[in-house]
């Protein structure tokens, strides 16, 4: 499997607290069948926070070298989870949004009580500036939980919809769980990621959600959600079924 949303970098956000924990998360992910991880620390989407990228990048290099030294079979990719604010549009216009790997995909998040209209507007602006938004955990937003069908519009716009394994498995509340299942039933999910924050809770272990997807969906669908689409994304290609 390939995990495109993981707070594995140490000491840069509320993810891994040390290099040892980051390595533990990587071992756990590898043990569960993950082969590649995009390291996606939180990034506040405004100009003042661009300086933080230097620290995130140095932690990325440090972890990449440690993975090689300890022979942990995880291929690491650069990334970030961009918290979208009104000021984020300025960063998009400057071409300074951090992307997933060398692609034009940008992993985006919002405050949980953000209105659908605000999210819609910011995502549109990001896309207008040449990026392709990946909406992290749409099932966690109150406005999406109320009206999941509105995401048909985002799918039509070409935004990639990423569900959290914790939502699907019921670890992030019943509303997120119900919304995640409904989005899957509506065909409004391109991929599943861990959004892992540690080695003991919200972990990068992916085999349970893989089994869930194979049972609830079917093996081919699980393959697309957990392997094919994440792979395409990190290669900068379109999602499965797109021309
Ligand atoms: Fe996250």
Per residue in 148-202, pLDDT (tens digit) is 999 999 999 999 999 999 999 999 999 999 999 999 999 999 999 999 999 999 9
Place of tokens 């022979």: 71
CA–CA gap between residue 174 and residue 235 (Å, rounded): 34
A 10 A CB-CB count for 209 gives 24
| Distance (Å) from CA 223 to ligand 1 centroid | 22
Q: How far is CA 190 from CA 16, 63, 83, 203, in A?
A: 26, 28, 20, 21
Cα-to-centroid distance, 42 and ligand 1 (Å)? 7
Quick: pLDDT tens for 100-130: 999 999 999 999 999 999 999 999 999 999 9
Q: Does residue 71 register a pLDDT over 70? A: yes
Distance 6 CA to ligand 1 centre (A): 6
Question: Who surrounds ion ligand 1 at CB < 5 A?
Answer: 81, 195
Does 243 score more than 90 pLDDT? no
Collect all residues with Cβ–Cβ distance below 8 Å to 92 and sequence separation of at least 6.
125, 126, 128, 129, 131
- Residue 170: predicted pLDDT: 97
Give me the domains of the chain, ranges plus CATH numbers.
2-234 (3.20.20.140)
Question: Two tokens at 25?
Answer: 């998360």
Per-residue pLDDT, averaged over 191-217, amounts to 96
Distance CA 17, CA 123 (A): 31
């Amino acid at each position: 499997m390939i995990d495109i949303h993981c707070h594995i970098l140490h000491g840069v956000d509320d993810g891994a607290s040390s290099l040892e924990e980051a390595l533990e998360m990587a071992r756990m992910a590898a043990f569960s069948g993950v082969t590649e991880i995009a390291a996606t620390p939180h990034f506040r989407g405004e100009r003042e926070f661009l300086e933080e990228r230097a620290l995130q990048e140095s932690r990325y290099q440090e972890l990449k070298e440690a993975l090689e030294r300890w022979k942990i079979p995880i291929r690491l990719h650069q990334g970030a989870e961009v918290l979208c604010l009104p000021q984020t549009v300025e960063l998009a216009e400057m071409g300074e949004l951090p992307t997933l790997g060398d692609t034009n995909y940008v992993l985006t998040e919002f405050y949980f009580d953000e209105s659908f209209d605000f999210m819609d507007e910011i995502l549109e602006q990001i896309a207008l500036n040449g990026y392709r938004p990946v909406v992290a955990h749409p099932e966690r937003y109150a406005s999406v939980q109320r009206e999941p069908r509105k995401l048909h519009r985002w799918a039509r716009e070409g935004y990639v919809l990423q569900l959290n394994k914790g939502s699907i498995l019921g670890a992030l509340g019943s509303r997120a769980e119900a919304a995640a299942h409904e989005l899957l039933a509506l065909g409004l999910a391109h991929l599943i990621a861990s959004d892992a924050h540690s080695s003991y809770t919200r972990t990068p272990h992916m085999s349970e959600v893989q089994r869930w997807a194979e049972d609830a969906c079917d093996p081919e669908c699980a393959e697309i959600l957990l392997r094919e689409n994440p792979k395409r994304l990190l290669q900068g290609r379109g999602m499965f079924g797109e021309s």
